[in-house]
């Protein structure tokens, strides 16, 4: 029995080593593709930093690139755990590439010369996660030099959303234009951000804003908001805080064991029809009014 265990361990170690080597080879190919694209876009010096799961590319100084890559890897680890990926899961052949542009003009150049599209003036990110070179392009909304906190936030958003979208099936070739609802993507990325070192104050601020909603003590003239109001398309004023809170309820609160089931519930059917949030909740055997009551009770009790 002992010899069998030793042999099995050796086999597993060997398989893991082969997978690591294969991934390293894929990462080399990805870096070559990115380098060629960078040159094609006629951009300035390209700096890179690699982690276990990421390739970060930018023209920012080396020290800042390494700092961003480290932040991204921490976000990747937490998002991976929260989305209940298995250790053997393989979202993409190599690593996730994050290309950060510190100038709007550079982003526009890359989009026009490499992606062959003209970005909209308000676009700040483009997730291209299908194929063998999964890539996220990120740029700040303005030409102003981004603060370290802004750079950190955008990196965390890019990484967490990439994993969330993959888990939902949105990156599958057959998914078409399917995407997850705004309340879910925004709430998830902000929850991952707020749980990283030095970022807890942001999550605390969202919680403070949503508590009066749960207690129905809103300023005069405000409507009493419900969980359902997040997915009606009206986007209430308190949307951000409510989205973060509702995702926290699902991902880190009493429904955390069923969070991934909710996400998968948004996958399009065989006819291409994208389920509504109500339909996704049916998989969890939840009605929105019961969810609303449970969610608000959870808020009032505190975390």
Same domain for 161 and 194, yes or no, is: no
Do residues 235 and 107 both lie within one domain? Answer: no
- Does residue 10 lie in a domain region? no
pLDDT score of 8: 45
**CA dist list (Å): 204 to 126, 193, 194:** 29, 12, 8
| 38 in any annotated domain | yes
Same-domain pairing of 53 and 113: yes
For residues 83 and 95, give the distance between their C-alpha atoms in angstroms, rounded to a whole number. 18
- pLDDT at position 88: 86
Q: Is residue 5 part of a domain?
A: no
Biggest CA-to-CA distance, the chain? 74
Q: Average pLDDT, stretch 63-68?
A: 91
Residue 215 scores a pLDDT above 70: yes
- Any bridge partners for residue 97, and if so which? 55, 135
Residue at which a domain ends, from 168, 197, 213: 168
Give CA separation, 57 vs 47, 61, 103, 111, 140, in Å.
6, 11, 14, 15, 15
Quick one: 224 and 158 in the same domain? no
At 147 the pLDDT is 83
Condensed to tens digits (0 to 9), the pLDDT of residues 191-208 reads 999 999 999 999 999 999
Q: Is residue 284 part of a domain?
A: yes
Asked whether residue 293 falls in the same domain as residue 254, the answer is yes
In this prediction, residues 39-61 reach a mean pLDDT of 93
pLDDT of residue 205: 95
Q: What is the pLDDT of residues 166-196, one digit of tens each?
A: 998 888 777 677 788 999 999 999 999 999 9
Which range, of 42-56, 77-91, 132-146, 254-268, averages the lowest pLDDT?
132-146
Ordered DSSP codes for 57-102: EESS-HHHHHHHHHHHHHHHHHHHHHTT--TT--SSSS-EEEEEES
| pLDDT-derived band at 217, boundaries 50, 70, 90 | low
DSSP-based helix, strand, coil % in the chain, nearest 5: 55, 10, 35
Select from 168, 197, 230 the last residue of a domain.
168
Residue 27 lies in a domain: yes
Compute the C-alpha angle 141/242/211, nearest 5°: 125
**Does residue 272 belong to any structural domain of this protein?**
yes
Range of 60-64, 79-83, 266-270, 284-288 with top mean pLDDT: 79-83
Residue 9 lies in a domain: no
One domain, residues 111 and 216 = no
Q: Residue 29 is part of a domain; what is its CATH number?
A: 3.40.30
Which position has the higher pLDDT, 42 or 232?
42
Write down the pLDDT at residue 224: 59
Provide the pLDDT for residue 282: 87
Whether residues 162 and 201 fall in one domain: no
Q: What is the pLDDT of residue 220?
A: 52
User: What is the predicted pLDDT for the residue at 156?
Assistant: 95
Does residue 258 surpass a pLDDT of 60? Answer: yes
Residues in the chain: 303
SS (H, E, C) 239-269: HHHHHHHHHHHHHCCCCHHHHHHHHHCCCCC
Structure tokens of 99? 């290309």
| pLDDT computed for residue 235 by the predictor | 80
**Same domain (yes/no): 160, 189:** no
For residues 235 and 287, membership in a common domain is answered with yes
* The pLDDT of residue 148 is above 80: yes
Do 190 and 160 share a domain, yes or no? no
**pLDDT value of residue 229:** 84
Confirm whether 4 is domain-assigned.
no
| Domains: count for the chain | 2
pLDDT of residue 78 exceeding 80, the answer is yes
Of 187, 199, 122, 131, give the one whose Cα is nearest residue 161: 187
Q: Which residue has the higher pLDDT, 270 or 291?
A: 291
Helix, strand, or coil here: 106?
Answer: helix
The pLDDT value recorded for residue 142 is: 65
Q: In this model, does residue 211 exceed pLDDT 80? A: yes
Overall pTM surpassing 0.85 (yes/no): yes
**What is the span of the domain harbouring residue 217?**
182-301
Of 119, 144, 168, the residue at which a domain comes to its end is 168
Residues 30 and 162 both lie in one domain: yes
196 shares a domain with 149: no
Supply the DSSP symbol for 115. Answer: I
Confidence band, pLDDT 50/70/90 cuts, at residue 9: very low
């Amino acid at each position: 029995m002992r010899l069998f265990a030793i042999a099995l361990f050796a086999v597993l170690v060997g398989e893991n080593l082969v997978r690591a080597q294969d991934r390293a080879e894929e990462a080399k190919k990805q870096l070559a593709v990115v380098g060629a694209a960078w040159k094609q876009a006629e951009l300035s010096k390209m700096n890179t930093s690699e982690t276990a799961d990421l390739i970060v590319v930018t023209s920012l100084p080396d020290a800042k690139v390494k700092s961003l890559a480290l932040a991204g890897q921490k976000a990747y680890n937490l998002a991976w755990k929260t989305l209940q990926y298995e250790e053997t899961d393989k979202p993409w052949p190599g690593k996730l590439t994050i290309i950060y542009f510190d100038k709007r003009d550079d982003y526009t150049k890359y989009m026009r010369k490499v992606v062959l599209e003209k970005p909209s003036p308000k676009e700040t990110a483009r997730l291209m996660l299908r194929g063998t070179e999964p890539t996220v392009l990120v740029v700040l909304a303005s030409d102003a030099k981004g603060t370290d906190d802004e750079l950190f936030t955008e990196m965390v958003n890019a990484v967490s959303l990439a994993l969330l979208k993959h888990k939902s099936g949105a990156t599958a070739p057959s998914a078409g234009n399917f995407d997850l609802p705004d309340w879910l993507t925004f709430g998830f990325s902000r929850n991952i951000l707020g749980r990283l070192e030095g970022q807890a104050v942001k999550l605390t601020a969202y919680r403070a804003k949503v508590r009066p909603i749960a207690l129905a003590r809103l300023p005069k003239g405000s409507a009493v908001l419900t969980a359902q109001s997040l997915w009606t398309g009206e986007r209430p004023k308190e949307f951000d805080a409510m989205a973060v809170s509702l995702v926290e309820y699902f991902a880190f609160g009493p429904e955390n064991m069923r969070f991934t089931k909710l996400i998968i519930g948004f996958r399009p059917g065989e006819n291409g029809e994208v389920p509504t949030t109500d339909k996704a909740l049916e998989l969890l055997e939840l009605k929105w009014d019961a969810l609303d009551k449970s969610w608000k009770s959870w808020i009032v009790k505190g975390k």
